[in-house]
Amino acid sequence: MTKPTDHLSSNSPDTNTAIAKIAFIGAGNMARSLIGGLLKQGYPASHIACSDPMEASLTSIAAMGAVSTSTSNTDTIAAADVVILAVKPQVMREVLTPLMPMLTSKKPLLISIAAGISCDSLQNWAGEGVPIVRCMPNTPALLQVGATGLYATDAVSAAQHKTADVILSAVGTVVWVKQENELDAVTAVSGSGPAYFFLLMEAMQAAGEKLGLTAEAAAQLTQQTALGAARMAIESDVDVAELRKRVTSPNGTTQAAVESFIANNIEDTVEQALQAAFTRSQSLAKELG
């Protein structure tokens, strides 16, 4: 796992002139998040370009800094060292196919954040020999606190691997996997994971109201508790099982609640839910490929 500043500090304009030129195809939420994260970490706006068919989306990108914008994908990637595919999976083929001659000629690093599109499909549409990194970010990346799983094909060099690490680290934690099919597990755990916590928070808020709290109080207490628990898990030197034990006093209120969760098979429920997400991720890859 890598923090954004681990690499951006060494790749800053003052210490390294070979900063990658990054081109984004698509100006949606995730592209804006990545661009915003890069700019916040000191990446030069002059080295970032973005294309999108919607002028309004490009205006939003341009407002973030001196980022080059265009409605032409070809023009945008012409000088790029890295091309980030931030488009919907359903349009990936039609976006990539016209770019194949340029991609196979220049062989920039191709980073896809589209769910369900395999590296084989991307390779077929981008051309032979184009280095590809496929990644699965999650929505908290919009706040630069995301979790992203990444997989690199054999054509990706060590330098390109580091560059991909820098880019995705700008919006949170990155975890590299050795096998592409592990991205289905990443999808099940972190890609879809925010919704699981929202569901639990929703249930806690509703239960709190039934116990007599106002809706506002139940929401505030639930949200801050979720934030606090996450920070403790991240910053602690012990695992979450030990943290749970430490806050569960014998015969206390927490033990009563935890025993109720266990009695209602929370571990089986979570396992089944993640298995369902994992299976659906595999199915989508076949459908979209």
CATH number for the domain that contains residue 127: 3.40.50.720
Provide the residue range defining the domain that includes 224.
Answer: 193-285
Q: Which secondary structure element, helix H or strand E, spans residue 133, and what is its range?
A: strand 132-136
> Could you tell me the pTM of the whole model?
0.85
pLDDT at 18: 59
Clarify whether residues 73 and 103 are in a common domain.
yes
pLDDT at 65: 85
115: left (phi over 0), alpha (psi -120 to 50) or beta: beta
* Positions in the chain short of pLDDT 50: 1-17
Clarify whether residues 91 and 179 are in a common domain.
yes
The alpha carbon of 27 is separated from its chain's Cα centroid by a whole number of angstroms, namely: 15
Distance CA 95, CA 131 (A): 17
Number of domains in the chain: 2
Listed residues 123, 158, 186: the one ending a domain = 186
Other C-beta atoms within 10 Å of 248: how many? Answer: 15
pLDDT at 230: 96
Q: Is 110 helix (H, G, I), strand (E, B) or coil?
A: strand
Clarify whether residues 200 and 90 are in a common domain.
no
Amino acid at 230: A
pLDDT at 15: 30
pLDDT at 5: 35
Please give the backbone phi and psi of residue 173, each rounded to the nearest 5 degrees, phi first.
-85, 140
Clarify whether residues 223 and 259 are in a common domain.
yes
Q: What is the 8-class DSSP label of residue 255?
A: H
Clarify whether residues 135 and 275 are in a common domain.
no
pLDDT at 280: 93
Strand order in the sheet with 82-85: 68-70, 48-51, 22-25, 82-85, 109-112, 132-136, 146-152, 172-176
pLDDT at 261: 96
Clarify whether residues 25 and 120 are in a common domain.
yes
Clarify whether residues 129 and 268 are in a common domain.
no
Clarify whether residues 107 and 34 are in a common domain.
yes
Token pair of 265, please? 């098979």
Distance CA 286, CA 121 (A): 10
Clarify whether residues 200 and 182 are in a common domain.
no
Clarify whether residues 178 and 208 are in a common domain.
no
Clarify whether residues 125 and 28 are in a common domain.
yes
**Residue whose C-alpha is closest to residue 140's, from 171, 118, 170:** 171
Distance CA 11, CA 261 (A): 48
Listed residues 186, 218, 241: the one ending a domain = 186
Q: What is the pairing mode between strands 82-85 and 22-25?
A: parallel
The alpha carbon of 165 is separated from its chain's Cα centroid by a whole number of angstroms, namely: 12
Listed residues 136, 153, 186: the one ending a domain = 186
Q: Encode pLDDT of 8-66 as tens digits.
A: 333 333 333 358 999 999 999 899 999 999 999 899 999 999 999 999 999 999 999 88
**Residue whose C-alpha is closest to residue 167's, from 152, 187, 182, 188:** 152
Clarify whether residues 55 and 117 are in a common domain.
yes
